């Protein structure tokens, strides 16, 4: 049962994505024949046909689809192993915390203070990145822990919920519903929802919108790449967006209003970490985060 090598898995992923031996070989910086041989070797070792190929078409078998998914996990894990080991070997290792601007619900300073109060843990270094990057950073070992909103459902991450925030809908000031004090989601049937981001896994706000609008009554709006574009599209009347009320308050615009929607699930602020890197320092940071959040909500509650 000789197992597969990392190199072979990289080859296979490239091939499965390109569905062409020549193109995949080009992307890998190698010639086509050795790629053919490598894949034949994998099929021999596994005793399984991975690709149905003629001279004109290449397509994955069921087993090939499984291997594509699994290989990505292995490659992530291998990249993470290198990255985390390198970081641990630095003269002064740091706990890398990935945050998104506005995605920490104002908790970051308090969390860091609590984390540093407990001795024996490496100092924290904060990196700022857009949504989606954080999950990738955690999985690939570039970061140890992250504060973010609405965790994507990607496998491999554990999380604790720190806070929930009610969501509203962003509307242009002149919209027929802009004057209402609160809305229910049924009111929004038929409003177009901008697609965000245009490629790859959708942003949680987008998925939330689809989940919350009744049935297929939500036509897809234009594609937007970031939050600013989203605001522009809404201002132009091309779509509506579900955002946390607190987040809307951070970006006030004269031409937009944010109306609370009472019957949709709230946005969550979470602390997340890779399931494969639960070090004592990560645990300490998570504890600091949950303590800080409990303290805040307790203070609000009193």
Footprint of a copy of itself on this chain (CB under 8 A)?
A: 1, 3-7, 9, 46-50, 61-63, 65-67, 69-71, 73-74, 77-82, 84-86, 88-89, 93, 141, 155-156, 158, 275-279
CB of 1 to a copy of itself, least distance (A): 7
Nearest residue to 58 (alpha-carbon basis) of 28, 25, 88: 25
Does residue 52 touch DNA according to CB under 7 A? no
Count of residues of this chain found to bind DNA when the rule CB under 7 A is applied: 23
- Scanning the structure block, which residue is given the tokens 């091939």? 15
> Other C-beta atoms within 10 Å of 259: how many?
22
Minimal distance, residue 77 CB to a copy of itself, in Å? 4
Q: How far is the CB of 53 from a copy of itself (least distance, A)?
A: 15
**Does the footprint of DNA cover residue 42 (CB under 7 A)?**
no
Give the up-direction half-sphere exposure of residue 14: CA atoms within 13 A in the CB hemisphere: 21
- SS3 state at 111: helix
CA 110 to chain centre: 24
Q: Which does 6 bind (CB under 5 to 8 A by kind): a copy of itself, DNA, none?
A: a copy of itself
Sign of CA pseudo-dihedral 76, 27, 8, 22: positive
Query: 31 or 262: whose CB is closer to DNA?
Result: 31
Token pair 């140890």 is found at: 144
What CA–CA distance (Å, rounded) separates 12 from 76?
14
Residues 74-103 that bind DNA (CB under 7 A): none
Taken in order 87, 92, 93, 96, is the CA torsion positive or negative?
Answer: negative
Q: Which stretch binds DNA (CB under 7 A): 21-29, 120-128, 152-160, 197-205?
A: 21-29
CB of 82 to DNA, least distance (A): 16
CB of 107 to DNA, least distance (A): 46
| Residue 41 binding result from DNA, a copy of itself, none, given CB thresholds of 5 to 8 Å by partner type | DNA
| Binder of residue 20, out of DNA, a copy of itself, none (CB less than 5 to 8 A by kind) | DNA
Residue 19 has φ and ψ, to the nearest 5°, of 50, 40
Instruction: For residue 163, give the nearest of 185, 148, 144, 142 by alpha carbon.
Output: 148
Residue 20 or 279 having the CB closest to DNA: 20
Closest approach of Cβ 211 to a copy of itself, in Å? 16
54 sits in the region (left: phi over 0; alpha: psi -120 to 50; else beta) called beta
Name which position in 6, 31, 161, 250 contacts DNA (CB under 7 A). Answer: 31
* Closer CB to a copy of itself, 61 or 238, in the complex: 61
The residue behind tokens 């709006």 is: 221
71 binds, among a copy of itself, DNA, none (CB under 5 to 8 A by kind): a copy of itself
Q: Does 290 bind DNA (CB under 7 A)?
A: no
DSSP characters for 28-75?
HTS-HHHHHHHHHHHHHHHTS--EEE-SS-EEE-HHHHHHHHHHHHHH
Q: Which stretches of the chain bind DNA, using CB under 7 A?
A: 7, 20-22, 25, 29-34, 36-41, 53-58
């Amino acid at each position: 049962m000789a197992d597969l090598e990392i190199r072979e898995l990289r080859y296979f992923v490239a091939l499965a994505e390109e569905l062409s031996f020549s193109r995949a070989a080009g992307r890998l910086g190698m010639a086509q024949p050795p790629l053919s041989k490598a894949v034949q070797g994998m099929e021999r070792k596994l005793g399984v046909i991975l690709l149905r190929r003629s001279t004109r078409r290449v397509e994955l078998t069921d087993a090939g689809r499984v291997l594509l998914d699994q290989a990505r996990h292995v490659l992530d894990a291998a990249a993470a192993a290198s990255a985390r080991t390198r970081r641990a070997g630095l003269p002064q290792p740091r706990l890398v915390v990935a945050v998104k601007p506005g995605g920490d619900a104002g908790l970051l300073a308090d969390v860091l203070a609590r984390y540093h109060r407990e001795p024996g843990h490496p100092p924290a270094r904060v990196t700022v990145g857009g949504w989606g990057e954080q999950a990738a950073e955690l999985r690939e070992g570039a970061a140890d822990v992250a504060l973010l909103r609405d965790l994507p459902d990607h496998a491999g991450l554990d999380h604790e919920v720190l806070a929930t925030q009610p969501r509203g809908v962003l509307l242009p000031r002149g919209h027929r519903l802009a004057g209402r004090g609160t809305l229910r989601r049924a009111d929004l049937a038929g409003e177009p929802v901008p697609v965000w981001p245009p490629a790859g896994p959708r942003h949680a706000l987008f998925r939330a919108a689809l989940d919350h609008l009744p049935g297929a009554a939500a036509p897809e709006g234009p594609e937007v790449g970031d939050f600013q574009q989203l605001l522009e599209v809404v201002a132009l009347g091309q779509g509506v967006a579900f955002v946390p009320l607190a987040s809307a308050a951070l970006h006030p615009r004269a031409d937009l209003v944010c109306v609370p929607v009472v019957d949709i699930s709230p946005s969550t602020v979470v602390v997340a970490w890779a399931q494969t890197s639960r070090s004592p320092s990560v645990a300490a940071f998570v504890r600091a985060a949950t303590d800080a959040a409990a303290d805040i909500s307790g203070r609000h509650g009193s």
